Amino acid sequence: MENKIVEFKDVSLFLDEQIILEDINFTMKEKEFLTIIGPNGGGKSTILKIILGLIKPDKGSVRVFGNTSTTSVGKFIGYLPQHINSDLKFPVNVFDVVLIGRYNGLFKRYSEEDKQKAIDALKITGMENFKDRQIGKLSGGQMQRVFLARALVRDPKLLLLDEPTASADPEMQQSFYELVKVLNEKMAIVIVTHDVSAVLQYGKSVACVNRKLYYHGEKEGAIEKLQEAYKCPIELIAHGVPHRMLKDHDK
């Protein structure tokens, strides 16, 4: 029997009296591959941050690996944010960027196991040959693979990816998704994306979020249900138009 690794129950979040998320309910199981789509500002990335424990909901409960706090389970989660806050001129090489993912306390020396894990992660992402290169000299797609390696270096059971191919060209996007598909054999994946083709081709299940959760289930048959909910084509759902139509739909 597959175990639940993420569980949202009646989760709501407010900011300055604005509703960010409202009554969100869903569960994820081991080795699930969930793609989350919806308009900009609809709350997709916020869901990832709640799973990580970076944001606490105002209402409802969240369990990750059976715990209500991520303090004890954070080591089981890998995260690749949409925007990497890093000084790309800083003289640090690719290997060291990945090795930082093994950091586990002040003044702790990195062990040989830590260093080998960093090499292994770079091999998985196809970036081993770049391990000595300064991070700022990589292309956008290469950089995403390096930060993916850093997310993988602790052997997570759940990998969260927020718009991971936004800065990659089409060829790099495809190879990135192919890599993630392989990773899904060992871990659960959540991808926030606007790429509908990725939803249809790679994900096992899909969720559509625009403040509320409009759909969560298998990708087969999801398109028709989403278009019915939003009253517009799926291409518009993924690129931010429906939030202008939501008020009319709710009447």
With respect to residue 146, please indicate whether it lies within any of the assigned structural domains. no
With respect to residue 230, please indicate whether it lies within any of the assigned structural domains. yes
Higher pLDDT, 98 or 237: 98
> What is the rounded distance in angstroms from the CA atom of residue 115 to the CA atom of residue 98?
9
If you average pLDDT over residues 182-204, what whole number do you get? Answer: 86
Mean pLDDT of the chain: 84
With respect to residue 77, please indicate whether it lies within any of the assigned structural domains. yes
Q: 10 Å Cβ neighbour count for 16?
A: 5
What was the pLDDT predicted at 225? 63
If you average pLDDT over residues 79-91, what whole number do you get? Answer: 76
With respect to residue 205, please indicate whether it lies within any of the assigned structural domains. yes
If you average pLDDT over residues 121-138, what whole number do you get? Answer: 94
With respect to residue 115, please indicate whether it lies within any of the assigned structural domains. no
CATH of the domain at 72: 3.40.50.300
Number of domains in the chain: 1
pLDDT category, 198, cuts 50, 70, 90?
confident
Judge whether residue 189 has pLDDT over 60. Answer: yes
What was the pLDDT predicted at 106? 64
What was the pLDDT predicted at 222? 67
**210 neighbors 10 (Cβ within 8 angstroms):** no
With respect to residue 223, please indicate whether it lies within any of the assigned structural domains. yes
Judge whether residue 14 has pLDDT over 60. Answer: yes
The boundaries of the domain holding residue 191 are 4-86+155-239
What is the tens place of the pLDDT at every residue in 152-164? 999 999 999 999 8
What was the pLDDT predicted at 242? 40
Q: 10 Å Cβ neighbour count for 30?
A: 14
With respect to residue 222, please indicate whether it lies within any of the assigned structural domains. yes
What was the pLDDT predicted at 243? 39
From edge to edge, which strands make up the β-sheet containing 18-29? 18-29, 4-15, 59-64
What was the pLDDT predicted at 72? 76
The three state secondary structure string of the chain is CCCEEEEEEEEEEEECCEEEEEEEEEEEECCCEEEEECCCCCCHHHHHHHHHCCCCCCEEEEEECCECCCCCCHHHEEEECCCCCCCCCCCCEHHHHHHHHHCCCCCCCCCHHHHHHHHHHHHHCCCHHHCCCEHHHCCHHHHHHHHHHHHHCCCCCEEEEECCCCCCCHHHHHHHHHHHHHHCCCCEEEEECCCHHHHHHCCCEEEEEECEEEEEEECCCHHHHHHHHHCCCHHHHHCCCHHHCHHHHHC
With respect to residue 198, please indicate whether it lies within any of the assigned structural domains. yes
Higher pLDDT, 204 or 62: 62
